[in-house]
Amino acid sequence: MNVSVFISLVSLCFLFSNAAQALTVSTFRGEVSFPQTPQTVVAFPAGVIDTLDALGVLVQGVPENLFLDYVDTQKAQTVGTLFTADIEKIHKMSPDLVIIGERSALQYEALTDVAPVIDLSIPRGNTFQESLKRMHSLAKLFDKEDKAKEIENRLYELRDQAKQWINPDESVMVVMLMGRALNVLSSQTRIDWFQEELGMNLEASDVKSLNEVAPISYEYILSKNPDWLIVMDRDASVGRSAKDLSKEYMDTPLIHATKAWQKNQIIYLNGVGTLNSVGGVQGIKHTLEELIKTFSVRINGQS
Amino acid sequence: MIRHTGLTQSLLLLLFVLCLMTLMLASLFIGTYDLTLASVFENEQASMVMLLSRVPRTLAVVIAGGVLGLIGGLSQVVLNNRFAEPTTIGTAQGVAIGLLGTHILWPESPLYVHTLVASGFGLLSLFGFFSIIRQLKLNDPMLLPLIGLIYSAILGAIATFIAFEFDLMQFLMVWLNGDFSTVISGRYELIWGAAAIAVLVYWLANQLNLLNLGEQTGRALGVPFRTLVFIAMIMIALSTSMVVATVGMISFLGLVVPNIVRYYLGDNLKQSLPWSALIGACLLLGCDMLGRYLSNPFELPASLVFGVLGGCFFIWVLYKGEPNV
């Protein structure tokens, strides 16, 4: 509580001192102003790196083990991990801006001493809309608002296409494979926008106590018997597993008995866009494209 | 040492076997899918759920609980210390390092290869522990578990480091926290290997009992002491790795259960091992059923429930004081 009060005070001071040409950005911890467009940027969240790449902004510092196969980070330096930033290296780089968020948000205090930090964590609720909001904040800061408008239009177009295939009367269960465990992702998690934006009728959405992961058994999937099953391998999505095991895990008589399997309505989704690059506009785009492709093939192939 | 007479003991054993049977039967009817006795026979899908999910899960829990209880008892005799068990002497951590290594280097190889390599690492960690305690003169029996805990912590730290570097923390958690939620037919069969080893341990119990004599006395009497220790170590490492690789580790089960058993039955392995296995199986099955029941339709890992309830149970047993028979 105190921290946010302090930060808003600080940002207020900034507001008054640079009122003339300040670039104000709304962040997870209140509004922050910058005198000018930052040149050297360090970003930790994969979703932010993804969005900045889409906008055409070069990021100079990224975390280790970033697994975004579609973003070229060859030229960027690695500056520690999501959980422990390499403070010395960042200090040496003396960036104009360090962006943290979600999993790296805890590093806020540690980093404020070395560089200007903003927390661009995405609030829960509708990750699709929040991602667009975040993209616009970044676009404003880096003066890429035209590009952002273009991306937004494209994403809305894809969303509308995806929506056409989704029947709100058919239930959808999203299962995440993690290690040996199966988890159901409800509408309280990062796939909230599947329901909010695409109109999917997500299984387990009535359960309030679920936020991140809810471990389930195969029996759970069978007894809920969803019309559609979307399966993601978490370990493959963050690049820690050589192969995607979701197909192997679903190939059992218990799943063969579900409606989803019998109607050939299982979608093995690449989880990079939703589980790794949280709120990244390219991740969302890929996810939408994959959904459109598989939904259309499954539905057309059937009728 | 307080011993029960033969008759009360066999009656008690019968009682516990009945208790396990009841639990197993009940376990077959606890789960997310709606099953009744009638539906199993009438409905094809229900019988499939019973055969492919409930029965394997129940068996896996019983085997894991039994094996861990028994292996704990064996470790305690091998090390001649009451506080030894795979997680307190670094074996489970060694196995985890092995599993991480195979996962990083040969991710495509089948599970049994992972398990064999992991048991190799488990064995190495056991050798390491033995060579450490051999160098030291341990006057106080409390020193061994202390060294064991430090040793486990070091190995655990290495495992954590590797997992952290390769972003495999979730994997490590999965291995070190036993969970039976995804046990179905076709995904757990390796644990039968651990069951086979447990039978072998019981078969060798009379020989292994000689380890109770201590090294000097034993060797003076012509016991092939080192060979016996070696065999016991291989069995501990193999069965631990099989359990860890298929369902994950249940910490301290192997510590709690054999100690309760020893409290009543003494050090004779032939007598105490079946009890350790039986009580271990009962406790773990109870915990898994509770986990299934409490967070229905979701799952609560058995290791978590055991951590809470097993600890309380152990304290209660200690608190109850002397058994009065």
- Out of B48, B179, B248, name the one closest to residue A257 (CB): B48
Q: Are residues A107 and A196 in the same domain?
A: no
Mean predicted confidence (pLDDT) in B158-185: 86
B52, A252: Cβ pair inside 8 Å? yes
Q: Which band of pLDDT confidence, cut at 50, 70 and 90, is reported for residue B192?
A: very high
On whether any CB of chain A is under 8 Å from the CB of B25, the answer is no
pLDDT digits (tens, 9 = 90+) for A250-285: 999 999 999 999 999 999 998 888 888 888 999 999
Q: Are residues A117 and A164 in the same domain?
A: no
A141 assigned to some structural domain:
no
Q: Which of A67, A68, A219, A232 to mutate to test the interface with B (most CBs of B within 10 A)?
A: A219
B33, A222: Cβ pair inside 8 Å? yes
> Which residue on chain A is closest to B301 by alpha carbon?
A215
A201 assigned to some structural domain:
yes
pLDDT digits (tens, 9 = 90+) for B257-286: 998 888 888 878 888 999 999 999 999 999
pLDDT digits (tens, 9 = 90+) for B73-86: 999 998 888 888 89
A254, B170: Cβ pair inside 8 Å? no
Domain residue ranges of chain B, discontinuous segments joined by +: 6-15+52-86+169-320
Q: Are residues A185 and A257 in the same domain?
A: yes
Q: Are residues A181 and A250 in the same domain?
A: yes
Provide the residue range defining the domain that includes A193. 151-299
B168, A240: Cβ pair inside 8 Å? yes
Q: What pLDDT score does B46 carry?
A: 92
Q: Report the alpha-carbon distance of residue B182 to residue A258 in Å, rounded.
A: 17
**Cis ω before B107 (30° cut-off from 0):** no
A217, B31: Cβ pair inside 8 Å? yes
A240, B173: Cβ pair inside 8 Å? no
Q: Which band of pLDDT confidence, cut at 50, 70 and 90, is reported for residue B36?
A: confident
Q: Are residues A90 and A160 in the same domain?
A: no
- Alpha-carbon Rg of chain B, whole angstroms? 20
On whether any CB of chain A is under 8 Å from the CB of B112, the answer is no
A2 assigned to some structural domain:
no
**Which CATH number characterizes residue A77's domain?**
3.40.50.1980
Contact A104, A82 (CB under 8 A): yes
Q: Are residues A102 and A216 in the same domain?
A: no
Q: Report the alpha-carbon distance of residue B52 to residue B74 in Å, rounded.
A: 32
Tokens representing A153?
């239009």
A260 assigned to some structural domain:
yes
A135 assigned to some structural domain:
no
> Which residue on chain A is closest to B188 by alpha carbon?
A180
CATH of domain B6-15+52-86+169-320: 1.10.3470.10
- Out of A65, A179, A252, name the one closest to residue B167 (CB): A65
Whether pTM > 0.90 for this model: the answer is: no
Q: Which residues of chain A have pLDDT under 70?
A: 1-21, 205-212, 239-243, 301-303
Mean predicted confidence (pLDDT) in B166-184: 84
Q: Are residues A164 and A284 in the same domain?
A: yes
- Out of A65, A219, A239, name the one closest to residue B32 (CB): A219
Q: Is the pLDDT of residue B323 over 70?
A: no
Q: Are strands A30-34 and A23-27 parallel, antiparallel or unpaired?
A: antiparallel
Q: Are residues A44 and A109 in the same domain?
A: yes
DSSP letter for each residue of B213-239? G-HHHHHHTT--HHHHHHHHHHHHHHH
Mean predicted confidence (pLDDT) in B39-55: 92
DSSP A175: E
- Out of B175, B181, B184, name the one closest to residue A215 (CB): B181
A270 assigned to some structural domain:
yes
A207 assigned to some structural domain:
yes
Q: Are residues A295 and A183 in the same domain?
A: yes
Count of structural domains, chain A: 2
Of the candidates A101, A121, A141, which is a domain's last residue? A121
Size of interface A-B (CB pairs under 8 A): 89
Candidates B212, B312, B314, B299; CA nearest to B263 is: B314
Q: Which band of pLDDT confidence, cut at 50, 70 and 90, is reported for residue B325?
A: very low
A39 assigned to some structural domain:
yes
Q: Are residues A28 and A105 in the same domain?
A: yes
